[in-house]
Amino acid sequence: MQPVECATCGNQVLCEKFSPAHTSVQWTAEAGVVCTEFRGRVAAGGTSARIRTCRSLRASIDRAVADGSLTAETPDGPAQEAADA
């Protein structure tokens, strides 16, 4: 997993991609406090465990993919789709 920092709030998560369409995100406990979108949903009575993502973090992950700092890889190496792109 590779660290990705949200450009909006600075929350850092761990991400991995096994293909261009697949992104796995490991959230930290601080997400409910640091992320403004999470904080708002939690304050409204939701739980952070039910929140799939936030728009700002999604945009930060997309930028990391575009600039090459987050790449699609399988346990055996670069994903075929990423290698062909």
Query: Which pLDDT band holds residue 75 (cuts at 50, 70, 90)?
Result: low
Q: SS3 letters for the chain?
A: CEEEECCCCCCEEEEEEEECCEEEEECCCCHHHHCHHHHHHHHCCCCHHHCCCCHHHHHHHHHHHHCCCCCEEECCEECHHHHHC
Mutual orientation of helices 36-43 and 55-66 as an angle, nearest 10°? Answer: 160
Is residue 47 pLDDT above 80, yes or no? Answer: no
Predicted TM-score (pTM) of the model is: 0.74
CA–CA gap between residue 13 and residue 7 (Å, rounded): 12
Residue 65 is predicted with a pLDDT of 92
Residue 56 is predicted with a pLDDT of 92
CA–CA gap between residue 18 and residue 32 (Å, rounded): 26
